[in-house]
Structure 1
Amino acid sequence: MIKIDRRALLSGAAILAALAAGYGLASLRPPAAETPHEEAAAEAKTEEGRIEISTADASAAGIAVVTVGRGGGSDVRLTGRVEAAPDARAVVAAPVAGVVERVLVSPGVQVGAGGGLVLIRSADGALASAEAVAAGAEAEAAQAALARESRLLKEGVTARQDFEAARAAAARASAQAAAARARVTASGSPGVNGRATIRSPIAGLVTGVQVAPGGFVAQGAPVAEVSDPRRLEVVFNVPADAAAKLKVGAPLNLIGPDGREVAATIIGLAPLAQGATGAAVVRARPDRDGLTPGAAVSAQASADGEGLPSVPSEAVQTLEGRSVVFVAEPGGFRLRSVTVGRSGGGQTQIVTGLKGGETVAGRGAFVLKAELAKGEAEHGH
């Protein structure tokens, strides 16, 4: 059994740089046995190909764990980009033209639904507010006239047609008042002074502000952008023939730029979205957090759910002339010999040695290979 020195792992970047130059994992040395009996026991455990390392230390050494997929040659390889879900992004526009008095947020600030973004002063807003007040007053007067005509009609003092005319006038005034109030709401609910606060329709992170205090903003011009970073999707542009092998609801294994794996589910397919180019759009939703908006990711999807297991090509290492992978176990990794098949698109088929569903070291597997080879050599002396 090889035990990796945690202090050496924490040297991180220096270790990986030395490995890239071909020097091996010089600073990661298993503790020397203190007695001949302990040394013999260590040699016996070394033959098992076991390397002890905690999850935190493995991550510090640049080792990423991935799940063995199935599908072999039927797998579809995709590349795409992380985006906010369509309903998790809002471009907020000015409902009415005006002068920006204050900007209430800055990029990177979290806002709630209805939170203020920008305060503007608008002459059009002031006019709309005044018209709403006037329309409301007219509606009240019309209602009072209707009530009077109704009373006189009951007393037999007024004609029926006068009452009907008063009722029509009251209905018309009420409709005009409602329309005026709607215009005020659509204008951002400005007060009689024309000041209105432009608010975010969703909760999320402010990703952009397009106005500055003192500037003029036209009606319909964008003032800020807000998105919810917790609600993400991954969008892939793929050849139509590859998209034809996929189905909505099928699982995907997303691999981020740091080599970490995130499970996802296909939620949409648009084979003709790109028209004459023949490209299709595939949308997938991650099953958990862990992705960054704007990041480029790759993915692997099984077209038929059958076939050979496959792993990232960097997971397969050559040790003493044989192909091996490092299967993750509690507290470390264990060496396992495999027979490889075809390779392509960054993936390698595994003919024998894996069944699919296991977790193995992907990116950084060479670190384990170097440590295992050096540990066995030291025990052999």
Structure 2
Amino acid sequence: MQIIRTAVRPNARLLAATAAVLAGAFAFGAALTAAPAFADDAAPVDEIGISAQPVSDDGPLRTRFDYSIAPGQSLEDAYSVTNRSTGPQTFSVYATDAYNTDDGAFGLLESGVAPTDAGGWISFSGAPSVQVTLQPDETTTIPFTVRAPDDATPGDHAGGLVASVQSPDGQVLVDRRLGTRLYVRVAGDLQPSLSIAGISASYTPSLNPFAGETTVTFTVRNAGNVALSGALKSEVRGLFGIGLSTPLEQDVSEMLPGSTRTVTTTIAGVGQWIYLNPVVTVYPRVDETAPNPGPLTSVSRDTVLFVVPWMALGLIVLALLVWGGVRFVRRRDDARAKEWMEYTEAVARRKADAEREPEFAESGA
């Protein structure tokens, strides 16, 4: 994979922006007032383009440099550079170190920064760089040497070969760079390992108690000495490991040894089951063109999250209040009915007793 970067001198950015605004205003005014100019009156502007890739000879096409080497060992290879400009250009070819950017991309050190790792192991006939002048569509092959230091540590060391052309644009010097990835694997004890740390989780409820979201944040670190990418799976489990969500799968782009990356995933469709157990698993893998580093082991980390189902509890409390109210009303009505029946029975007994008293008097009882 190739990396394209454009660098501008920091002390000229303000001048460039001002010049661009003035040029735009002048062009607009000229379009309204000036007569059209002939094409012969304008100076031609060269279009600048670069094409560079590893020399493949008769083998399969290579998109990057991959080497397996022992400490103190040297290898020879070549870089093919083509001028895709409309005019002659002078190219600088050199090597530099690689790193992972904040968003996880593969980046190369800026121009002028001295390499201290694999980029410093590359030389062009003993020099750290070489310059070539090419005509339009002309291609040249640039040989170079890779030499691992005697004290090189085992594992992957990443860098890149860069073809650079600088051209003035007003008061701004534009550096157009085209880089090709370079990996040097030094023989020794290889330790391919991705680890997960600093895991935390939060829950966002929904009106539907079974449709909330769980957000999990964690840090993935390449704790070994081999460049690795990976597949990431995030899910939420409940008591006894019961799955409470559909697993969320995503890719982790290549991480160089020692690099870290903060990842945030949001898992939808998680109910308010009080006990939630978010689990994250990463499955390491290597690039298909890289040498096999040996067995790769997946790693999992989890955390515990307690979610109070306030909506469900509210519905339960409301149902209990309604049930209690209905039960109270029924008991009250039953008590009143019983009291009324007892009252009517007592009245009936008193009336019957009153009617029997004269009869007893007449009979001399």
TM class by shorter chain equals under 0.3
TM-score (norm 2): 0.22
Structure-1-length-normalised TM-score: 0.21
Q: Which has the higher contact order (CA 8 A, sep 6+)?
A: 1
Q: Whose helix proportion is higher, 1 or 2?
A: 1
